Amino acid sequence: MSQVVIRIPTPLRGYTGGAGEVAVEAATVGEALASLGRRHEGVLERVVDARGEPRQFVNIFVGGRNVRALDGMATPLAEGDVLAIIPAVAGGGA
């Protein structure tokens, strides 16, 4: 297991007591998010769907790369990796 940091977006910080980052120990992205969910009730349901996959409008990055382009939730983590949870933002034209 590796010590990694999960960056929490502002809309989800109410579930982490205001923390912008949470350190966890995990070997994969899925394990890291599960650990986050165990420590902070309510946050996991807003990040992953019932199948345990990232919700449609949520992106998860490791080292600047979207896990959807890697091994998804099975993406391995190394010591010191940073996971960033990024909610998709839609905008409209004028």
> In terms of pTM, does the model score above 0.85?
yes
Superfamily for domain range 2-87: Beta-grasp domain (3.10.20.30)
The reported pLDDT for the residue numbered 88 is 83
Domain extents for the chain? 2-87
The reported pLDDT for the residue numbered 92 is 58
Residue 94 to residues 50, 64, 91, Cα–Cα distance (Å)? 36, 31, 10
Per-residue pLDDT of the chain (94 residues; tens, 9 = 90+): 899 999 999 999 999 999 999 999 999 999 999 999 999 999 999 999 999 999 999 999 998 999 999 999 999 999 999 999 999 876 656 5
Cβ-based neighbours of 91, under 8 Å, separated by 6 or more = none
